[in-house]
């Protein structure tokens, strides 16, 4: 029986949903191996709840810190694992044991963050590039969420394609029962939820919405997500340009997110770069027609179930959303296709595929 350690320090975050689902469904599979999950103090009880037969070990080491390179390395070595899975690329790069790494995407390497100190961010970006390349080469096997990312990683990090396995992620049905979101109840609206970082391309979506109001004067745009410095920049732009009908919700719980998806005229995903594009699948699963960017992996994940646009072209974004608003037939078609597309994905299958990666890596060790 081999001992496998999983780094679950990002459990409970938006990017950590992949980790939580991996742990949960690995436990469902009842693997023959011994599993130890490393996580932060606030997630100990949650991990024990979803995976009661797995050992859970607490760590205070944060991601992207110097302590990650030294202290976490020592904590892992004490556990004496046969294999460690880092579900995110950040890891002790000089750990010499057998490793599997999930590389979600290379977006952070290609986009700046305007709310960060430019020089400090550039330095961190260079370090992150080295971490990606080092992790790709030292790992026994790599996992990516899509074929697009697989080929991107192979090219950028110069590793063979047969070292990389694609394990598709999945969307979850959200809890029901929320009261309507009052600012848009009974009104037509389109929406986006998520982070507002530059690659999410919200500036062009906001401009497209203003163009759409020429034909649809009552149309609102809901931008849902916890307010941070980037959201504040967008809010400032909206105010300075006198744009109307744009609503910044701040954080909303999953049940209210579900209500918005079930009542929006379209879910709009203008991203310039994604590793998987989970929000669009979540929208499809809850009956929202999706207007999506045609960039990176998104056509691979959404197939024929989304209505695509060029994310660099405001007029084309406007055109695609207007197509949905103006055609009940297209809207119904997208809703039907979207539900079927979302149902193709399975967290349990992802966990099974990941377990197979572990098995192969252990045999090669």
**Intervals of the chain under pLDDT 50:** none
> How far apart are alpha carbons 267 and 205 in whole angstroms?
11
Q: What is the pLDDT of residues 270-309, one digit of tens each?
A: 999 999 999 999 999 999 999 999 999 999 999 999 999 9
Q: Is 123 exposed, middle or buried (0-12, 13-18, 19+ CB in 10 A)?
A: exposed
pLDDT of residue 196: 92
Q: What angle do CA 358, 344, 275 make, to 5 degrees?
A: 60
pLDDT of residue 112: 81
pLDDT of residue 2: 96
Residue 23 in tokens = 């742990």
Q: What is the pLDDT of residues 61-71, one digit of tens each?
A: 998 888 899 99
pLDDT of residue 126: 87
With CA atoms as reference, report the closest residue to 35 among 7, 9, 15.
7
- Evaluate whether 83 touches 2 at the Cβ level (below 8 Å): yes
pLDDT of residue 123: 82
pLDDT of residue 345: 97
């Amino acid at each position: 029986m081999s001992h496998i350690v999983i780094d679950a320090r990002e459990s409970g975050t938006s990017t950590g949903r992949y980790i939580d689902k991996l742990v949960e469904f690995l436990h469902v599979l009842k693997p023959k191996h011994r599993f130890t999950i490393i996580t932060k103090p606030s997630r100990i009880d949650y991990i024990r709840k979803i995976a009661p037969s797995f050992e859970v070990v607490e760590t205070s080491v944060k991601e992207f810190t110097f302590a990650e390179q030294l202290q976490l390395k020592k904590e892992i070595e004490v556990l004496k694992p046969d294999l460690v899975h880092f579900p995110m690329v950040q890891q002790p790069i000089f750990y010499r044991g057998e490793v599997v790494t999930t590389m979600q995407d290379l977006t952070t390497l290609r986009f700046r963050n305007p709310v960060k100190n430019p020089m400090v961010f550039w330095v961190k970006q260079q370090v992150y590039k080295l971490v990606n390349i080092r992790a790709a080469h030292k790992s026994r096997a790599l996992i990516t969420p899509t074929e697009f990312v697989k080929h991107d990683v192979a090219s950028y990090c110069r590793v063979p394609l047969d070292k990389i396995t694609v394990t598709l992620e999945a969307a979850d049905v959200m809890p029901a029962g929320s009261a309507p979101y009052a600012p848009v109840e009974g009104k037509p609206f389109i929406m986006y939820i998520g982070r507002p970082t530059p690659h999410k391309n919200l500036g062009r979506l906001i401009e497209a919405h203003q163009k759409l109001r020429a034909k649809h004067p009552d149309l609102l745009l809901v931008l849902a997500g916890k307010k941070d410095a980037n959201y504040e920049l967008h809010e400032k732009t909206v105010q300075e340009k006198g744009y109307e009908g744009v609503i910044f919700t701040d954080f909303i719980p999953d049940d209210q997110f579900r209500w918005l998806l079930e009542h929006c005229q379209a879910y709009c995903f203008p991203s310039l770069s994604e590793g998987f594009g989970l929000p669009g699948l979540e929208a499809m699963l809850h009956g929202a027609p999706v207007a999506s960017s045609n960039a990176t992996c998104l056509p691979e994940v959404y197939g024929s179930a989304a209505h695509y646009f060029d994310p660099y072209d405001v007029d084309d974004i406007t055109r695609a959303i207007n197509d949905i608003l103006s055609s009940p037939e297209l809207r119904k078609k997208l809703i039907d296709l979207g539900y079927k597309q979302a149902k193709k994905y399975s967290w349990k299958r992802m966990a099974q595929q990941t377990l197979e990666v572990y098995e192969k890596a252990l045999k090669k060790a």
